[in-house]
Chains A and B, each alone.
Chain A
Amino acid sequence: MTTDRAPVGVPFRFARWLLVRSAGALFVLWAVATLTFFAIRLIPGDPAEAILGGPGSQASDEALAAVRAEYGLDQPLAVQYLAALGRLATGDLGTSYSLRTSVSTLLAEQLPGTMLLAALSLSVAWMLALALATWSTRGGRVPAAVGAGLEVVAAALPHFWIAIVLILVFSTGLGWFPPISTAGPAGLVLPVVTLALPLAGFLGSIMRESLLDALEAPFALSARARGESELGVRLVHALRHAALPAIGLSGWAFGFLISGAVVVETIFARPGLGRTLLTAVTARDIPLVIGVVLVVAAAYIVLTVLTDAASRLADPRLRAA
């Protein structure tokens, strides 16, 4: 084929990719901040009241006016929005209305716990999904039916239901794990299992499908004809093919885990971003809500890039394209 123009160099391509990615990330962060800023105004109630300790505090009109002036809440909405955006642009997340501490400090305290929870849940979900997919495709009608059934049921279970059943069985009943998430590994088990089960159902059904395709593929027949064992066909060839779509979905899975963390952290009384977000929304704590949402969005962006990189690592065909 005739090539009119030489392909551009690799370093330039990488720089362009980075530029496009960063611009996209900035746009997403701006959009998230804007949406959150306006969405939280839709909650009925007065933010000034929230700052003074909520509707029950019976603050005087003078106190409310003073607070409004101090926080700029008496300004038009557009001015407030631009001011908030200006502060965010300089990296200032502001001060929490309800907790009177810097939002950055609060986030720094809450972030590691939630990230640990999400990362552990993702790993456990992957292991469960892999085990289930491998077992249910080893042949025979019973494992296939059981595998498919388990996946559908697991994927359909809501987090709050799993959490309650787990607490009833393993804390109240058997007493193996604490019902509230204490510090230390034992306190993590039930929250992690709660988050991992539905995700394992999703990932497992995707993996099983692609594993079956790969085991039937001509290259698997070639490998068997070369003298490769069934185990070898799986380890050397099929599992890698089976993992590809699940890797691509892991970025999405992280978002699923964070939204699950709101429920799970609340039920297990575990400190973290999810619970912070819930209390911040109820208290109309605008800076804290925006802060949490921004951090989650940023983490989501980073994870999407990481999944992209992982996909490229696992599938060399993507690197060439």
Chain B
Amino acid sequence: MSAAGATGADPVLRVENLTVGFGASGAAVVEGVSFTVAAGECLALVGESGSGKSVTARSILGLAGARSWQRADAVELSERDLRSLSEREWRSVRGRNVGLILQDALASLDPLRPVGREIADALRLHTRLSPAARAARVHELLRSVGMPEPELRVKQRSGELSGGLRQRALIASAIALDPGLLIADEPTTALDTTVQARILDLLAEQKESGTAVLLISHDLAVVSRVADRVAVLREGRIIETGPTDRVLRNPEEPYTRRLIGAVPTGRPRGERLSVPVGSAPGGSAQRARPAAPVPARATTPRDAVALSVRNVTVRFRGPNGSTRLAVDSASVDLHTGTTLGLVGESGSGKTTLARLALGLIAPDAGEVRVGGEPWNPLAEKHRRPVRARVGAVYQDSLASFDPRLSVEAILTDAATGGARRGSPARSGAADRVRELLDSVGLPAGVLPARPLNLSGGQRQRVAIARALAPRPDILICDEPVSALDVSVQAQVLDLLDELQERHGLSYLFISHDLGVVAHMADRIAVMSEGRIVEMADTDRILAAPQHPFTRRLLDASPRL
């Protein structure tokens, strides 16, 4: 693969044949990577987790870690060779010539220190400015990244700022000395869509002002908004590189095509996202919806309501006696055999609504009914016999498993309602467990494995199998794919679609990602500050959003 070079302009960063590995005899995790970034240009390194993106970025700063080794034919920053720098020389380069922006400023800025101090640190380390001059420059920087009320914000810690504001503070600390190269490693991954859009604009501004930007992301849609060129990484190698438009519209490599095909945004409901194993790569596998409804769907009329939430309100009490409305007289109906998408920003009350639907918390007002029967509020004693009707799939499936249990134990427990070992209820469980594994497309070989040793996608499949074990009618899916790589996400979304058709399941599908929700849902409910601000069929929401918040969400949603 030839170096991904910009034509004409002298590169700010030139990397040639970079190989990085860990441990004395460890295999390389980055192999022969070459690229350049010119001033005023943004190069995006795209790849799935484990592809070596972050390691590449950190090696450019000499921060790949104490146990790492690297070799390269060239690592040059403005024609200065970085390969033979002493620790002291490195320190003068970091912060002054290269700035680094990491994911989620909650952890990437010291949570014990005010953000103003963190930003001023870069100035303290590299300039001889007086404290007063530093403070003035910090204010100036905060204003330049669009921070409202900088005088107030400098004294706040990252935990006291919203996700968007603290990410701005982190960017301010990285650009404090106006470095020629800015490395942004997943800078918007933990952010809400609307906030993400603003942070990307900010990066674009930096690029316009002549900074070279190296953007690291797993998200092709994010990349398409700012990057001029894209380099696709797979297993430590750059497999394809070129102008963003060309790579996204006209990918040459099958892997790139598969990555792009896995993005759910703008794809009609029911279309397959993942390529089935063994089929021709890149073939757009349009799956025809069955003409005749599946048996489960035929037995219940399609407009029957599986789950009905009526005017529920939930109040949370704060530590100082204040109360906060987490859910404010919200009403939604989930029709049998369909998917209701619930979309909103973090803190809008989506998860609280999910917990209500699961009967985990009681509403302060209003009620939830399942299949027309009372469900919440209801004494747990009366709810337990029918609990099996409602299942749940969570975002962090690893945390939802007992780490000591094998997959077999997890599924046997779920299939037998937690019956004790040796009880007759467990005798027929083995067949049921096989059946469940089959239905989520896992081989029987994973049965003895523990959740920790499974990949993210396998783990989420086990979580889905566990949810299906008591044969529920309704699945509450709370951000079920948010922690997954795009190609794995595609497989899980396809699986959920398939299971819905086969078993006539009803899904309450919660996500902050409008693209995912629009692909999965028949109807969408938009939630903001505890209220359902808009609810309509997916096509109508996408074509003619009524509420300003929905419009904002749509505008901010990145698409290819």
Q: How far is the CA of A219 from the CA of B160 in the complex (A)?
A: 16
Question: Are the C-beta atoms of A223 and B121 separated by less than 8 Å?
Answer: yes
Interface residues in A220-268 by Cβ distance below 8 A to B read: 221-229, 232, 236-237, 240-241
Name the B residues within 8 Å of A226 (CB-CB): 94-95, 100, 121-122, 125, 173-174
Question: Are the C-beta atoms of A5 and B321 separated by less than 8 Å?
Answer: yes
- Which 7 pairs, one residue from A and one from B, show the smallest C-beta to C-beta distance? A227-B95, A225-B100, A226-B95, A7-B320, A218-B108, A227-B94, A2-B325
Stretch at the interface among B109-117, B427-435, B510-518: B109-117
Is A317 in the interface zone, CB < 8 Å from B? Answer: yes
Q: Given A1-B324, A3-B323, A4-B325, check contact A225 B529 (CB 8 Å).
A: no
Is B7 in the interface zone, CB < 8 Å from A? Answer: no
Q: Given A1-B530, A317-B157, check contact A219 B107 (CB 8 Å).
A: yes
Name the B residues within 8 Å of A4 (CB-CB): 315, 322-325
Question: Are the C-beta atoms of A229 and B63 separated by less than 8 Å?
Answer: no
Question: Are the C-beta atoms of B322 and A6 separated by less than 8 Å?
Answer: yes
Most buried by B among A139, A237, A315: A237
User: How many A-B residue contacts, CB cutoff 8 Å?
Assistant: 110
Is B26 in the interface zone, CB < 8 Å from A? Answer: no
Question: Are the C-beta atoms of B92 and A227 separated by less than 8 Å?
Answer: yes
Is B318 in the interface zone, CB < 8 Å from A? Answer: yes
> Taking CB as reference atom, which chain B residue is nearest A317?
B159
Cβ contact of B109, chosen from A6, A7, A222, A227, cutoff 8 A: A222
Q: How far is the CA of A227 from the CA of B100 in the complex (A)?
A: 11
A137 to chain B, nearest CB (A): 12
Name the A residues within 8 Å of B108 (CB-CB): 218-219, 221-222
Interface size of A in residues (CB-CB distance below 8 Å):
33
Is A183 in the interface zone, CB < 8 Å from B? Answer: no
Q: Given A222-B109, A223-B110, A224-B63, check contact A8 B104 (CB 8 Å).
A: no
Name the B residues within 8 Å of A227 (CB-CB): 91-96, 122, 125-126
B102 to chain A, nearest CB (A): 5
Most buried by B among A1, A5, A6, A321: A1
Most buried by B among A4, A227, A241: A227
> Taking CB as reference atom, which chain A residue is nearest B173?
A226
> Taking CB as reference atom, which chain B residue is nearest A315?
B112
> Taking CB as reference atom, which chain B residue is nearest A229?
B91
Question: Are the C-beta atoms of A237 and B321 separated by less than 8 Å?
Answer: no
Query: 11 pairs across A/B with beta carbons < 8 Å?
Result: A2-B324, A4-B322, A5-B322, A7-B318, A8-B320, A222-B102, A224-B94, A225-B61, A225-B63, A227-B92, A241-B112
B225 to chain A, nearest CB (A): 24
Name the A residues within 8 Å of B126 (CB-CB): 227
Is B347 in the interface zone, CB < 8 Å from A? Answer: yes
> Taking CB as reference atom, which chain A residue is nearest B318?
A7
Is B475 in the interface zone, CB < 8 Å from A? Answer: no
Interface residues in A305-321 by Cβ distance below 8 A to B read: 314-317, 320-321
Question: Are the C-beta atoms of B319 and A321 separated by less than 8 Å?
Answer: yes
Is A79 in the interface zone, CB < 8 Å from B? Answer: no
> Taking CB as reference atom, which chain A residue is nearest B57?
A225
> Taking CB as reference atom, which chain B residue is nearest A321?
B319
Interface size of B in residues (CB-CB distance below 8 Å):
49
A211 to chain B, nearest CB (A): 14
Name the A residues within 8 Å of B125 (CB-CB): 226-228, 232
Name the B residues within 8 Å of A8 (CB-CB): 320-321
Is A269 in the interface zone, CB < 8 Å from B? Answer: no
Q: How far is the CA of A75 from the CA of B14 in the complex (A)?
A: 94
Q: How far is the CA of A5 from the CA of B319 in the complex (A)?
A: 12
> Taking CB as reference atom, which chain B residue is nearest A232?
B125
Name the A residues within 8 Å of B170 (CB-CB): 222
> Taking CB as reference atom, which chain A residue is nearest B100?
A225
Name the A residues within 8 Å of B163 (CB-CB): none
**A3-B324, A139-B66, A236-B121 given. 11 additional CB < 8 A pairs?**
A1-B326, A1-B347, A3-B322, A5-B322, A218-B102, A218-B103, A218-B107, A219-B109, A227-B95, A237-B113, A317-B159
Name the A residues within 8 Å of B94 (CB-CB): 224-227
- What DSSP secondary structure best describes chain B's contact surface? mixed
Q: Given A4-B315, A225-B98, A228-B121, check contact A240 B112 (CB 8 Å).
A: yes
Is A87 in the interface zone, CB < 8 Å from B? Answer: no
Question: Are the C-beta atoms of A219 and B100 separated by less than 8 Å?
Answer: no
Interface residues in A268-321 by Cβ distance below 8 A to B read: 314-317, 320-321
Interface residues in B277-310 by Cβ distance below 8 A to A read: none
Is A18 in the interface zone, CB < 8 Å from B? Answer: no
Cβ contact of A7, chosen from B58, B104, B159, B321, cutoff 8 A: B321
> Taking CB as reference atom, which chain A residue is nearest B348?
A1
Name the A residues within 8 Å of B95 (CB-CB): 225-228
- Chain B 318-338, CB-CB to A under 8 Å as 1, else 0, gives 111111111010000000000
Cβ contact of B104, chosen from A13, A218, A225, A316, cutoff 8 A: A218
Name the A residues within 8 Å of B103 (CB-CB): 218
Name the B residues within 8 Å of A222 (CB-CB): 100, 102, 108-109, 118, 170, 173
Name the A residues within 8 Å of B325 (CB-CB): 1-2, 4
Is A69 in the interface zone, CB < 8 Å from B? Answer: no
Q: How far is the CA of A2 from the CA of B348 in the complex (A)?
A: 11
> Taking CB as reference atom, which chain B residue is nearest A10?
B320
Is B11 in the interface zone, CB < 8 Å from A? Answer: no
Q: How far is the CA of A225 from the CA of B529 in the complex (A)?
A: 37
Is B187 in the interface zone, CB < 8 Å from A? Answer: no
- Chain B 525-560, CB-CB to A under 8 Å as 1, else 0, gives 000011000000000000000000000000000000
A172 to chain B, nearest CB (A): 46
Q: How far is the CA of A4 from the CA of B61 in the complex (A)?
A: 49
Is B99 in the interface zone, CB < 8 Å from A? Answer: yes
Most buried by A among B126, B160, B318, B320: B320
Name the B residues within 8 Å of A232 (CB-CB): 125
Question: Are the C-beta atoms of B102 and A221 separated by less than 8 Å?
Answer: yes
Question: Are the C-beta atoms of A317 and B112 separated by less than 8 Å?
Answer: yes
Is A217 in the interface zone, CB < 8 Å from B? Answer: yes
> Taking CB as reference atom, which chain B residue is nearest A214?
B110
Name the B residues within 8 Å of A217 (CB-CB): 107
A3 to chain B, nearest CB (A): 5
Q: How far is the CA of A4 from the CA of B122 in the complex (A)?
A: 42
A8 to chain B, nearest CB (A): 6
> Taking CB as reference atom, which chain B residue is nearest A240?
B112
Question: Are the C-beta atoms of B66 and A317 separated by less than 8 Å?
Answer: no
Q: How far is the CA of A316 from the CA of B100 in the complex (A)?
A: 26
Q: Given A225-B63, A225-B98, check contact A317 B121 (CB 8 Å).
A: no
